[in-house]
């Protein structure tokens, strides 16, 4: 009987230790990945906004308004893939995009407002804000 209990103990202790370690390790890494996961490669979007900024800087607000439509279409098409990977970053960029759309689509767009909105959008694309811990 003593040998049976000793064998059970020698099996149960390492199994319990290993299981506990795996549980704690997986919780730590999954939480860490969720906090630091980004939206991936946003270079296609930053390229479009660079074009929009160049048009706006030349005073071609009508051209900028037309070009930002390309961004809007691409952003909306990518939503299903981007938003689940980091909803907070996606929402921050989406909010900045809405600001740019509003500035460019105003009945009488103001150059300074357009420039500020496009700068904010480009900044959010280049360095999306990390969610607060």
Query: Residue 16's pLDDT is what?
Result: 53
Let me know: does 93 contact 72? Beta carbons within 8 Å. Answer: no
99 closest CA partner among 132, 127, 122, 66: 122
* Domain boundaries, given as residue ranges, for the chain: 1-36, 43-126
Three-state DSSP class for 132?
Answer: coil
Who has greater pLDDT, 67 or 130? 67
Q: What is the pLDDT of residues 53-98, one digit of tens each?
A: 999 999 999 999 999 999 999 999 999 999 998 999 999 999 999 9
pTM above 0.85, yes or no: no
């Amino acid at each position: 009987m003593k040998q049976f209990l000793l064998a059970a103990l020698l099996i149960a202790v390492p199994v319990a230790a290993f299981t506990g370690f795996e549980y704690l390790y997986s919780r730590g890494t999954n939480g860490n990945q969720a906090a630091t996961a980004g939206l991936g490669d946003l270079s296609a979007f930053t390229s479009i906004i660079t074009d929009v900024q160049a048009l706006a800087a030349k005073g071609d607000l009508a051209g900028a308004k037309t070009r930002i439509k390309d961004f809007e279409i691409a952003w909306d098409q990518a939503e299903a893939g981007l938003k689940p990977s980091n909803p907070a970053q996606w929402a921050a960029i989406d909010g900045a995009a809405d600001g740019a759309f509003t500035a460019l689509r105003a009945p009488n767009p103001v150059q300074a407002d357009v420039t500020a909105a496009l700068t904010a959008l480009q900044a959010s694309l280049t360095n999306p804000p990390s969610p607060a811990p």
